[in-house]
């Protein structure tokens, strides 16, 4: 199957079949925000991918695999598998980007853009509010069983895109890109209640500074903005969590639409 003979007989053929199945599953897990986080060790990610590939090889024995992985046909098949896996993981990545964008808007309005922390998901830096939102979204994602649903969709992709027929097409790429607009819309809905209150506080602070020039605008505006922002986050927490739940559901629906479009 791979152009090499390791002398393992039938076991070798099954082994390279599992390796081939691991390409799509591994690419999907690598692109996904939770499974592909930089804090997840590579050994754990490879172990999960291998276990899923073994199950897929048993559940779907009719999946055709290229006769030689090291041939041109085999490399093209692997490239197609990687493209499908990355597309399915990228849809989930867009969903997890919405809280980070909303946190940037909220942190900028509160004057806390300098309060950054290490992003365990992406490996970069994000605001403290962004880290909090990502943790809450991850808990909702796991509590609702969305991770199991997403893995089931990745496995179902073998029926929608059999190996060798993995070209997504322009319509599917346009649907994935169009989901980015929904991501920005959701980020705006999450940040809108807090930013509206912060705007009112800034207007009130400006009026006070004009009526009483002796007041220090920076000494008054920054504490007032922080306190108002924290109060707004506490009050609007139920609305924000409902937005997160809808975001998870929409991400799964979008992933499913990529398979059936």
Bigger pLDDT: 193 vs 260: 193
For residue 126, what pLDDT is reported? 67
For residue 52, what pLDDT is reported? 86
Q: How far is residue 182 from each of residues 92, 107, 200, 233, measured CA to CA in Å?
A: 12, 21, 27, 22
Contact 225, 202 (CB under 8 A): yes
User: pLDDT tens across 207-219, in order?
Assistant: 777 776 666 666 6
Closest by CA position to 110, among listed 227, 216, 240:
227
For residue 113, what pLDDT is reported? 64
Has residue 2 been placed in a domain? no
Has residue 70 been placed in a domain? yes
In the chain, the percentage of residues whose pLDDT exceeds 70 is: 78
Q: Domain total for the chain?
A: 1
User: pLDDT tens across 90-138, in order?
Assistant: 888 888 888 888 888 887 777 666 666 666 555 566 667 778 888 888 8
Largest CA distance in the chain: 88
For residue 214, what pLDDT is reported? 65
Among the residues of the chain, which ranges form H helices?
10-31, 42-59, 72-110, 128-143, 146-160, 170-211, 217-235, 237-260
Has residue 143 been placed in a domain? yes
For residue 34, what pLDDT is reported? 76
- In the predicted model, is pLDDT for residue 45 greater than 80? yes
- The number of beta carbons lying within 10 Å of the beta carbon of residue 49 is 23
Query: Taking the complete model, does pTM exceed 0.85, yes or no?
Result: no
Has residue 42 been placed in a domain? yes
For tokens 């912060």, name the residue.
198
User: pLDDT tens across 50-89, in order?
Assistant: 888 888 888 876 676 766 666 677 777 788 888 888 888 8
| Averaged pLDDT for residues 226-241 | 83
- In the predicted model, is pLDDT for residue 11 greater than 70? no
Q: Which domain holds residue 91?
A: 10-260
For residue 116, what pLDDT is reported? 62
For residue 9, what pLDDT is reported? 55
Has residue 3 been placed in a domain? no
- In the predicted model, is pLDDT for residue 5 greater than 60? no
Bigger pLDDT: 10 vs 199: 199
Three-state secondary-structure class, residue 125: strand
For residue 216, what pLDDT is reported? 64
For residue 104, what pLDDT is reported? 82
- In the predicted model, is pLDDT for residue 176 greater than 80? no
In the chain, the percentage of residues whose pLDDT exceeds 90 is: 0
Q: Which of 51-60, 159-168, 222-231 has the highest mean pLDDT?
A: 51-60
* Residue 260 falls in which region: left (phi positive, over 0), alpha (psi -120 to 50) or beta: alpha
User: Whole-number mean pLDDT of the chain?
Assistant: 78
Q: How far is residue 13 from each of residues 17, 68, 76, 249, measured CA to CA in Å?
A: 6, 10, 19, 39
In sequence order, the 6+-apart residues with CB closer than 8 A to the CB of 236 are: 193, 194
Has residue 5 been placed in a domain? no
């Amino acid at each position: 199957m791979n152009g090499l003979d390791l002398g393992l007989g039938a076991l070798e053929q099954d082994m390279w079949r599992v390796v081939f199945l691991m390409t799509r599953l591994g690419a999907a897990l690598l692109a996904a925000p939770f499974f592909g986080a930089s804090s997840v060790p590579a050994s754990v990610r490879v172990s999960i991918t291998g276990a899923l590939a073994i199950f897929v090889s048993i559940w779907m024995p009719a999946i055709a695999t290229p006769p030689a992985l090291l041939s041109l046909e085999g490399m093209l098949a692997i490239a197609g598998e990687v493209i499908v896996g990355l597309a399915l993981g990228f849809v989930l990545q867009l969903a997890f980007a919405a809280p980070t964008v909303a946190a940037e808007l909220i942190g900028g309005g509160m004057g806390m853009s300098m309060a950054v922390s290490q992003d365990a998901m992406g490996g970069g830096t994000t605001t403290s509010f962004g880290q909090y939102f990502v943790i809450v979204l991850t808990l909702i994602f796991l509590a609702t069983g969305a991770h199991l649903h997403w893995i089931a969709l990745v496995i179902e992709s073998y029926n929608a895109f059999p190996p060798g027929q993995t070209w997504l097409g322009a319509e599917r790429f346009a649907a994935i890109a169009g989901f980015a607009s929904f991501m920005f819309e959701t980020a705006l809905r999450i940040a809108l209640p807090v930013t509206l209150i912060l705007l009112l506080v800034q207007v009130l602070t400006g009026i006070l500074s004009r009526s009483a020039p002796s007041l220090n605008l920076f000494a008054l505006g920054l504490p007032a903005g922080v306190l108002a922002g924290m109060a707004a986050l506490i009050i609007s927490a139920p609305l924000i969590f409902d937005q997160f739940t809808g975001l998870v559901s929409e991400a799964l629906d979008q992933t499913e639409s990529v398979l059936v479009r």
